[in-house]
Amino acid sequence: MRLIPLFLAALIVSLAQPVSAQDWTRFTSIEDGFSANYPGQPKVETITYTTEYRQQLPGRVYSASDSLGRYSTTVIDYRNIEKLHVDRAAKCRAAQGDGDSCQNDFRLDLAGATDHAVWNFMKRDGVKITHYMYYFVELVSGRLLQMTNADNTRTFAAIHQHAGRLYIHQATVASGMPEPILFMQGLGWADEKGLAIRYRTIYTEGYGEWKFPHETPPFTVRDLNTSIDGTIPPKK
Amino acid sequence: MRFKLFAVAFACVSCLTASARAHHSHGNYDVETWTVMEGTVKQVIFIVPHSIVYLDVKSEKGDTATWSLEATNPQGIFLKGVKKEDVQVGDKIKVRCHLLRDGGHGCLLGFVTPMHGDKARGHGIEIEWD
């Protein structure tokens, strides 16, 4: 019986608690070209990330947590990806490798970096994707995933490529908690002075100014029956 | 008359380009449907680029869930005439917002109407927080 007043007192205290007790503040990383809101100063961890075509790239994870959930921004540096693939292809050819294994996959690895990161979420055991869409932040193209995990926690993840880097901005909250919108909507792009970048048209890594309909990119045509290298065979 | 025509034209152009000027995509929200919710303010965080209101809302079954309501930036809210003290922790408010399309406890504000009974803090007056 004496426990009832104690329980009521505890209940009142818990009801009076804010959802997030920590002060949310704006954090800017000029080095990694982004800004975001975290509950307090994020911890920074250095990692190595494996790309779809098996290159090992340097990255950093900025993370923080509060009573609601866990929040992180993973930044992977793809800026050296072309050299890594050129070097690997050259080594492969020097070792008498075949055409397939010695192919330079630089473009595929870079153009598919977002898809690879999305796939890493999709293939998690027991995950149910509840929403998936094309997404942009300050007109930088990306993808947004919302999912319920096997343990009923909820994860939101936004994935972007900007200025040679891959950004994986994600939050996970416990079941029944409000969705982690505060963290997710805070992502932005920082210039060398830390100022926020906002594009005038859609930014897609590897492309110029976004237009629709757009000018056709350079291309060649070929007769598949007579060509093996993707160019028009010279006329005899 | 010319000014009126210009104003209408400007407004139309503004509407057409609104989606391209937004800070982020809104495709995960059902922006074609307004949902009205009433609840008790658990927390208000005024922060860029978007402020957040955490609102405790009682469902038809009687259980209470905390919702995350996405508003515009603090400057955008204050320029509409809202003062920080208008919506405080524990206040009753009514909101109109666009629900997350996957059924999660998130909603894109919308409008906020304080229902705390204090006219000096805007009781009963609906103001846009988007």
Which tens digits make up the pLDDT trace of A165-198?
A: 999 999 999 999 999 999 999 999 999 999 999 9
Query: Residue A109 in 3-state DSSP?
Result: helix
Report whether pLDDT(B83) > 60.
yes
CATH of domain A25-197: 3.40.1000
Rounded to two decimals, the pTM is 0.86
pLDDT of B52 reads: 97
Residues B70-90, mean pLDDT to the nearest whole number: 96
Q: Does A193 lie at the interface with B, CB-CB under 8 angstroms?
A: no
pLDDT of B21 reads: 62
> Do A135 and B70 make contact, defined as CB atoms within 8 angstroms?
no
A1-12 in b/e form (b: 16+ CB < 10 A) is eeeeeeeeeeee
> Do B70 and A181 make contact, defined as CB atoms within 8 angstroms?
yes
Low-confidence ranges of chain A (pLDDT < 70): 1-17, 20-22, 228-236
What's the CATH architecture for B26-128? Answer: Beta Barrel (2.40)
> Do B105 and A137 make contact, defined as CB atoms within 8 angstroms?
no
| Among A15, A179, A184, A195, the residue to mutate for chain B (most B Cβ within 10 A) | A179
- Please name which of A162, A146, A128, A222 lies closest in space to residue A35, comparing C-alpha atoms: A162
Residues 6 or more apart in contact with residue A185 via CB below 8 angstroms? B23, B24, B49, B50, B70
pLDDT of A225 reads: 80
pLDDT of B71 reads: 97
Query: Residue ranges per domain, chain A?
Result: 25-197
The token duo for B120 is 């000096």
pLDDT, tens only, B9-46: 444 344 334 444 688 999 999 999 999 999 999 999 99
Query: Residue ranges per domain, chain B?
Result: 26-128
Residue A64: how many CB atoms within 10 A of its CB?
22
